[in-house]
Amino acid sequence: MLLNLEVKKEKKITRQRTLRKQIACRGIALHSGQDVSLTLKPAPANTGVTLYRTDVEANVPARWDLVVDTRMCTVLSNNEGVTVSTVEHLMAALAGCGIDNAKVELNASEVPIMDGSSEPFVRMIEKAGVVEQSVPRRVIRVHKAIKVKVGGAEVSIEPGDSIKLSLEIEFQSKVISHQALSLGLFNGSFRKELSSARTFGFLDEVKQLRAAGLAKGGSLENAVVVSGDKVLNEGGLRFDDEFVRHKMLDALGDLYLAGAPIIGCFKGAKSGHAANNALLRALFADENAWSYDVLRGEESDRAMDGGLHAQSEIVVSTP
């Protein structure tokens, strides 16, 4: 007698994640120069990332369609005109650490710059701990290539099976010149390769920026400063190509304003905040270019940065 046995394949589905407990920091705002207190808090599943201004008691959701300024940083504004600026480094840390839901409380209109990178926020997340939630993690899957040009910048997103970024920049300064980098976000690559790359600027632009009411909190403690063919920071650069690594960090933070990880290949040439946001607007304007999905099986490992992965997973059975 033969028995027909139906064998079911188990496929793992990655769950949403939030912080285990709240954690706080204080720092200087890069552009306003204000002393800012910031607290990262756990948030329920399916709520995403929300910034809460305690000084005016207003929520500002971290969403691409609420970006209102991209000239020197990424600025968000809610329907009442309450803004939060310089969100990109914090958003990159949340993206790189796989945090889906979080409440960010701050008592000013700008996220503190810390050391100019995402690393202080990553350390905060590591110290607070990460917990998985009972809901599958939602991702945005790219189905066709989207390309936009903004000024001299060109960016695109194409279908792929993981989160991959490729970026090239070019400046007249011999310290920077032409730099290019390609990176897949898995096996802890964000933590090791991007998180500590600092923002940068040029000494001869400082007076102009401050006259415009910007960079009031900028210093060698929170930015790489280039003067002529020299880096003024004691100790020099953290990476030989720290400049392109920071631009990639910025792009990751800007793209996380999509509200979920984007499974696809991002490419940028001379890109910045304006082009990154324009790409998201073009992507979401074409309903055939993307869809929501969940990650299953080995794809989950390929598409996620493993730096802060928890061990437990939802397991579902499919025929």
pTM over 0.95: no
At residue 316, does pLDDT exceed 80?
A: no
Q: What is the pLDDT of residue 311?
A: 31
Please report the domains of the chain, with CATH numbers, ordered by start residue: 10-318 (3.30.1700.10)
Average pLDDT of the residues of the chain:
90
Task: Let me know: does 123 contact 37? Beta carbons within 8 Å.
Answer: no
Least confident of 68-72, 104-108, 204-208: 204-208
Determine which of 67-76, 180-189, 232-241 has the lowest per-residue pLDDT on average: 180-189
Task: With beta carbons less than 8 A apart as the criterion, state whether 244 and 180 touch.
Answer: yes
Distance from C-alpha of 210 to C-alpha of 277, rounded to nearest angstrom: 25
**Residues annotated as catalytic (active site), given as ranges:** 273
**For residue 54, pLDDT beyond 70:** yes
At 206, the pLDDT band (50, 70, 90 cuts) reads confident
Q: How far apart are CA 281 and CA 300, in angstroms?
A: 26
